[in-house]
Amino acid sequence: MTRHPLIRIKNYLLLGVAVLYYIFCKVLSFDLINQNGNSSQHSLSTLELNSYLKDNFAFVVLFLLFISVASTSFLLGYLIYNKFDRNRDASRTAVRAGLFFLCAAAYTVTGTDMLDIFSEHILTFDYIRNVSLIFMSLMFISYAGTVNKKKWLRVLDWLFFAAGLGFFVCCFFRLLDIADYVISAITLSMLLTLIFSSFLHTRDLLRRKSHAKVLYAIFGILELVFLTSSTVCFILRFRYYYWLSLGLALAAMAYLVFNELVNIAARQYAKAPETERYRKMAYIDALSGIANRNAFLVEQDKTFDSDSLYYVVFDINNMKRINDTFGHSEGDRIIRKSAEIISVCFEEIGKSYRIGGDEFAVIGQYKTAEEIEEALKNTDAMISDYNESSHAKLDLAYGYAIRENIETNTYELFNKADKAMYRSKRKAHRERLSI
């Protein structure tokens, strides 16, 4: 499911509305909506730590599990995009899964009794729970959309967004009873969506050919059973069992999602050497070992708007005579040596490219004419050292041009450097004739 930019904007809009409503209530001293007013409230002074852990042990474990899965998903998303294959879709899948479990962690910690020790903030926690629920549903649709590619998920995405927006509208106008019904409707809709998606996922797991097929199927069935149980408990208002069943369902989902993300990362890692090989074939010159013309054109586009830029263009003199006299193997050696000398002399101030048979170029930024002249002097010195022990003499013609502002585009700048190089080439030719 391709996500239009508007779909991402609407989620940011909803988050902005949630923050604005909270600020609105704090500034005007309005009470936040409270769906959890009948829950037991304690203070830190009357609740012993051992008793607290005993009563909330399962929810503390689930909260830590969701945080761990969210953090790992973000890390896998980073590795997939930046370290392995720069696969944007796979990376986004991992990030969206992480956001879902981050919302699930917030929903769990604020919806159960875990934070009742801070009774003075109970209304804030209830509000965070409602906001977490809204974004939890949106993040699940976002994640499921990258995995299942179903069009009906886009419709659900907009329905959940409209319901979330309706909740905040009711809150702004103090229609708290209606807001309560909206949140209940969102909760039930999300549970039914999770059940249906879990059914589809479990069916796909049972059809897979995998050595872990049975284990995956067991967790898929457990997820489906606990989601159904949590839905029944929600309808019957069995609060404790609702949270426990939902937490266990999400724990089973976390296992399946984590395995899926690890498999994606493993596939991208396995493809990374092959991808790097293809990248080298596309952007590295096979003979000289430096960047090729494709890379040069990419850099040319990248630096198009740079306000300080320079080009140096090189051409090997008498390349045809070298090939005819000493053979093409010696000609190839001259090309490799030229690339080596240019890249060594300019490695601190620019990037070197082989842009043609016997042509090279350097692109650099924010350098002075003095620095370029110094690099060219080093180039001449290394060529002289090489020619002392070589039968085929290396002779490079070069020219450079510097752009101080963007009035001269990169193509005009290259032509100026190219013309300077040809003037150098003609000058060297006249000097050889006069000898």
DSSP string, 69-125: HHHHHHHHHHHIIIII---HHHHHHHHHHHHHHHHHHHHHHHHSGGGTTBGGGHHHH
Burial class (CB in 10 A: 0-12, 13-18, 19+), 330: middle
Nearest-Å Rg of the Cα atoms of the chain is 33
Tens-digit pLDDT profile for the chain (435 aa)? 444 445 567 788 888 888 888 888 878 777 776 554 444 444 444 446 666 667 788 888 999 999 999 999 898 888 877 766 556 777 888 888 999 999 999 999 998 888 877 777 888 888 999 999 999 999 998 888 776 667 778 888 899 999 999 999 998 888 888 999 999 999 999 999 999 988 888 887 777 766 677 888 889 899 999 999 999 999 999 999 999 999 999 999 999 888 888 877 776 665 555 555 556 667 888 888 899 999 999 888 888 777 788 999 999 988 888 998 889 999 999 999 999 999 999 988 899 999 988 999 999 988 889 999 999 999 999 999 999 888 888 999 999 999 876 677 888 889 999 999 988 888 776 666 565
Query: Position of tokens 């020619």?
Result: 387
CA distance 182 to 52: 32
Sign of CA dihedral 60, 62, 65, 71: negative
CATH fold match for the domains 5-279 and 293-434: no
Q: Are strands 359-365 and 351-354 parallel, antiparallel or unpaired?
A: antiparallel
pLDDT for 86 equals: 59
Q: Determine how many CB atoms are found less than 10 A away from the CB of residue 394.
A: 20
Is the pTM above the cut of 0.85? no
| Fold topology of 5-279 | Rhopdopsin 7-helix transmembrane proteins (1.20.1070)
pLDDT for 270 equals: 59
CATH number for the domain running over 293-434: 3.30.70.270
Cross-strand partners of 376: none
pLDDT for 429 equals: 66
Domain assignments of the chain as residue spans, ordered by start: 5-279, 293-434
CA distance 245 to 39: 18
